[in-house]
């Protein structure tokens, strides 16, 4: 049983690493199997398709981002807007570390797969949309706490503002990946706390 669970985990980890470093289309099942050190039959025992594996990859990314970034950045030891600033700094540190390890700023795994596949794979598009919606809810929670404490004005639409902040986050990561420069994140991302969408 242990060997089986390990095999499945190796396939999942390999797909995450390769999709993130390259792209969905550029990484085939054969590449994933080779990287994971498993045979194709083993792959299809665990995942009926590359699409099914990709949905599992997206879920694994969400768990990681939630545990390693969001939960730590949004811990309640700081006032709400300072948590956002910590989120920006932690996102920078993560991208810088990845850049040091791989030679490339890799951006956001959700944003990357979304721009590549949104017109081509409806299941993957929807799963990413759900992941973004969950991140938006977490950001929106911080904004509502900021409103309760008077840091953010009551007329602000917390949900739409969270969506706008998440869009800015995605855009900054896209530009940093394009320039292959993690310092751009440190320079631009803190401005995410400036954005406000008022209730209409």
- Residues forming contacts to its own copies in the complex (CB under 8 A) are 21-26, 102, 104-107, 111-112, 114-120, 125, 128-129, 132, 160, 163-164, 166-172, 174-175, 177-180, 184, 187-188, 191, 194-197
Rank residues 33 and 176 by Cβ distance to its own copies and give the closer one.
Answer: 176
- Which of 111-149 are b and which e, b meaning 16 or more Cβ less than 10 Å from the residue's Cβ? bbbbebbeeebeebeebbeebbeebbebbbebbbbbbee
Burial class, 165, CB count within 10 angstroms (exposed 0-12 / middle 13-18 / buried 19+)? buried
Q: How far apart are CB 121 and its own copies at their closest, in Å?
A: 10
Between 43 and 169, whose beta carbon lies closer to its own copies?
169
Instruction: Name the residue nearer to its own copies (CB basis): 2 or 119.
Output: 119
Asked if 189 and 92 count as a contact pair (C-beta separation under 8 A), the reply is: yes
Report in angstroms how near the CB of residue 134 gets to its own copies at its nearest: 13
4 or 129: whose CB is closer to its own copies?
A: 129
Least distance to its own copies, CB of residue 133, Å: 9
Q: Is-contact 162 139, C-beta < 8 A?
A: yes
**CB 198, min distance to its own copies, A:** 10
CA distances for 106 relative to 48, 49, 64, 168, 192, angstroms: 27, 25, 16, 16, 20
């Amino acid at each position: 049983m242990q060997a089986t669970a390990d095999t499945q985990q190796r396939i999942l980890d390999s797909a995450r690493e390769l999709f993130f470093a390259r792209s969905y289309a550029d990484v085939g099942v054969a590449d994933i199997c080779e990287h994971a050190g498993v045979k194709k039959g083993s792959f299809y025992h665990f995942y009926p398709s590359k699409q099914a594996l990709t949905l599992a990859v997206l879920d694994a990314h969400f768990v990681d981002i939630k545990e390693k970034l969001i939960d730590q950045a949004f811990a309640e030891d700081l006032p709400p807007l300072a948590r956002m600033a910590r989120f920006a700094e932690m996102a920078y540190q993560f991208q810088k570390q990845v850049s040091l390890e791989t030679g490339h700023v890799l951006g956001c795994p959700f944003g990357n797969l979304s721009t590549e596949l949104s017109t081509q794979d409806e299941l993957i598009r929807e799963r990413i949309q759900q992941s973004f919606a969950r991140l938006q809810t977490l950001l929106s929670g911080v904004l509502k706490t900021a409103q309760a404490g008077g840091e953010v004005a009551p007329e602000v639409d917390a949900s739409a503002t969270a969506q706008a902040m998440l869009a800015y986050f995605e855009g900054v990561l896209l530009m940093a990946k394009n320039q292959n420069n993690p310092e751009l994140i440190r320079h631009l991302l803190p401005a995410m706390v400036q954005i406000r969408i008022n209730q209409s």
